[in-house]
Chains A and B, each alone.
Chain A
Amino acid sequence: MNDQDYILFEGYISKTLAVEERVDFENRLISDEAFNQAFITYKDLNVFLEQKFENENASIAFKDNLDTISKAYFKTESKTTKGVHFAPWKYAIAASVALLMGYFLFNNFSDPSYNDFSNHDSISLIERGTQVTAVKTAETSFNTKDYIAADIAFDALLQIDSTNAEYQFYKAIANIELDKFEEAEGLLHILKSGQSIFNQKAVWYLALSKLKQKDYEACIVILNTITEEAEDYKQAQKLLKKLD
């Protein structure tokens, strides 16, 4: 094909050819196989480029979200698999712990406390480009329960990536631990109305924040909004029963 052919392709696709030129073009597609083949590839490339650049931001958002969900999924998945290799003596301990917990639950003699319900797992944050050191600091501080350091690290990360739901969520938990409830709840409210995977978890932690403040009425109201599909539904129901 020569330059003129490609200019014609573009004209045909953008519908800027005159009627006669259009008819000629379509006739040539039928009579000239090489012309037709080149046009098919040209058209494919046009759509490809459109998708590649025009929807680039949407694609990146999708990949990021997928990455977060995948990481969270495989973290729990490997935990379940590891359960199979549980040493027998651990069963004895687990059984005693379960018995002990049962005893306390049965003897419902005190108000439920935040510590009974706030069992955050170790976190593993997604590293993004230049922020690797800050991410590691946030992760390690959070996992070693050094919430003051975690809070500072998350602040730094959020300065670079202010809408990152993962950072917002764990900063909120760190703030509940530090009794900085207002800040924590502000973040959880944002997450609750957002589209991230943390939007249901955020509701559960809002309830836990109220629980830690011993604002039981508000806690009950929030717990009642947690629907059956939510991961924390069972925990929420358990807490509701204790608060009744």
Chain B
Amino acid sequence: MADKKIHEDQKYIEGLLQNNSFIIQAVYDKFVPKVINYIKQNSGSEASAQDIIQETLITIYNQAKEKNLQLTCPFDAYFFLLCKRKWLNELKKTNSKEVTINEAVLSKDDNALELADETELFEDKQQLFNQMFQQLGTACKDLLKATFKIKSMEEVAKSLGVTYAYARKKKSLCIGKLTELVQASPKYNQLYN
């Protein structure tokens, strides 16, 4: 990715990151109508479009925050592709019949395809991580929450009434436990090949 030029539409990503209402509004005004049209033409309603769009923007926000997302294609192409794939997945879940993809509106932009793939992978990982986190015991969950919220391990140890050394060790073992849960999941190979 490093050798690719960052697209000027990176401003939309930065705007989302800063929770800038004007930029979010601009995304709705400029890019959302196309998505609504597509979803409506493909057995969806306005309400389903609203959900798909919101979920997609949250994923983009998370990826930008966590992985420093750099846009190498127009925002429109990337955003539309993500919403479209999300909608088709939704249809597959609820519909037993074959879903037909309107190829005419598929993006021809390679950068957009590549970026959308990365975002999808990111989202799948997030889902898996969240599911596995829920499977941890309460003690691990509380310790990890405290560790990442408070930052200072000394304070974490104090707040949980344990020694510093114990808190540190426990943190690594809890993430270790989580690592094992993730690696044991059937989805693991799909996500890390």
A and B: real partners? yes
Per the 8 Å Cβ criterion, residues 114-142 of B in contact with A are: 125-126, 129-130, 133
* Stretch binding the partner chain, chosen from B5-13, B88-96, B178-186: B178-186
Q: Shortest Cβ distance from B40 into chain A, in angstroms?
A: 9
B63 (CB) vs chain A CBs: closest residue: A51
The main secondary structure of chain A at its interface with chain B is helix
Write the A31-66 contact mask toward B (1 if CB under 8 angstroms, else 0).
000000110111011111111111110110111011
Residues of chain B within 8 A (CB-CB) of A5 are: 176
Q: Does chain A have a CB within 8 A of B86?
A: no
- Complex Cα distance, B171 from A46, in Å, reads 10
* Stretch binding the partner chain, chosen from A73-81, A110-118, A128-136, A156-164: A73-81
Binding site for B on A (CB under 8 A): 1, 3, 5-7, 9-11, 37-38, 40-42, 44-56, 58-59, 61-63, 65-67, 69-70, 73-74, 77-78, 81, 195-197, 199
- Complex Cα distance, B167 from A33, in Å, reads 29
A7 (CB) vs chain B CBs: closest residue: B172
Q: Are A48 and B66 in contact (CB under 8 A)?
A: yes
Q: Does chain A have a CB within 8 A of B164?
A: no
- Complex Cα distance, B149 from A59, in Å, reads 14
A54 (CB) vs chain B CBs: closest residue: B148
Write the B36-68 contact mask toward A (1 if CB under 8 angstroms, else 0).
100000000010001001100110011001100
Q: Are B25 and A1 in contact (CB under 8 A)?
A: no
- Complex Cα distance, B182 from A81, in Å, reads 46
With beta carbons under 8 angstroms apart, the residue of A53, A55, A199 that contacts B145 is: A53
Residues of chain B within 8 A (CB-CB) of A38 are: 179, 183
With beta carbons under 8 angstroms apart, the residue of B50, B148, B176, B183 that contacts A49 is: B148
Q: Shortest Cβ distance from A65 into chain B, in angstroms?
A: 6
With beta carbons under 8 angstroms apart, the residue of B24, B28, B149, B180 that contacts A54 is: B149
Query: Which residue, A41, A42, A50, A53, has most C-beta atoms of chain B within 10 A?
Result: A41
Residues of chain B within 8 A (CB-CB) of A73 are: 25, 28-29, 32
Residues of chain B within 8 A (CB-CB) of A199 are: 21
Q: Are A70 and B182 in contact (CB under 8 A)?
A: no
Q: Are B179 and A45 in contact (CB under 8 A)?
A: yes
Q: Does chain A have a CB within 8 A of B169?
A: yes
